[in-house]
Amino acid sequence: MPATLTGCGIPTTPQRLFFSLHQYCAAARSAEVTELRVCVNRSCGKQGSRETLEVLSSIAPHGVAIASCGCLGRCGAGPNLVVLPGGAIVSHCGTPARASRLLADICGDEFDPWRNLEVLSLRKKGEVELEKGNASEALALLNQAIELNPSGGLQFIYKARSAAKLGMGDNDGALEDAKEVCKIAPYFPQAYICQGDALLAMGDLNAAEKAYATALDIDPSIRRSKSFKARVAKLKEKLLVAST
């Protein structure tokens, strides 16, 4: 009876655990890859698997799902991930370059690993500027990221750009970008939070309330978030003022 990869429910054999890179690439291109699962167990976590998970989630094209999972074996050779369907194990995937090259091996020539990493770098720089309160600098960086036409992760870029536009007082532009996020990733709760923020700034309180409620329906855990609580409190305050 074959062993099962802990936390994933994937039957495997010793041969599958010791895929060479050449065998892996051949298997990936001959199958319709739909998901990569990254081990975030203790050993792989210490080797940077959560950073690998973030990079893959940020640049993966539509149709390639990224998720975390439990131990895949080969502890010490991580970060490890499994390619589904097929169950091929890839080890030592611990740098952004390695993660992006992996997606290029899977997706083929249409995925440019270096261009997508450049987009990710621009987005991260834009988010840093946004945190500093430099909305115009953030907007410029995020515009550059979008112009590079990334293979994936546009929802994160438009989300950040919506916040940048909101910070500059461009409420209509912020709402437009938030709607774009909803189109790209309809089950991304942050899309509806961005939409709610823009609507709140525009004074459309009922629509803002509906947008926040949609985000909460998708991910009930955000109810505990300090930032979400602050948004709800601000909305309630405005609703109270409007009703008096």
Q: Cα(162)–Cα(139) distance, rounded to whole angstroms?
A: 9
Which strand (E) or helix (H) includes residue 50? helix 49-59
- Domains located in the chain, CATH noted: 3-107 (3.40.30.10), 122-243 (1.25.40.10)
| Residue-level pLDDT, tens digit, the chain, 244 residues | 333 333 343 434 433 433 444 555 555 555 565 899 999 999 999 999 999 999 999 999 988 999 999 999 888 888 999 998 888 899 999 999 999 999 998 888 889 999 999 999 999 999 999 999 999 999 999 999 999 999 999 999 999 999 999 999 999 999 999 999 999 999 999 999 999 999 999 999 999 999 999 999 999 999 999 999 999 999 999 999 888 8
Side chain identity at 120, as an amino acid letter? Answer: L
- CA nearest to 24, candidates 98, 89, 95, 72: 89
* DSSP H helices in 60-188: 96-107, 113-131, 135-147, 154-167, 171-184
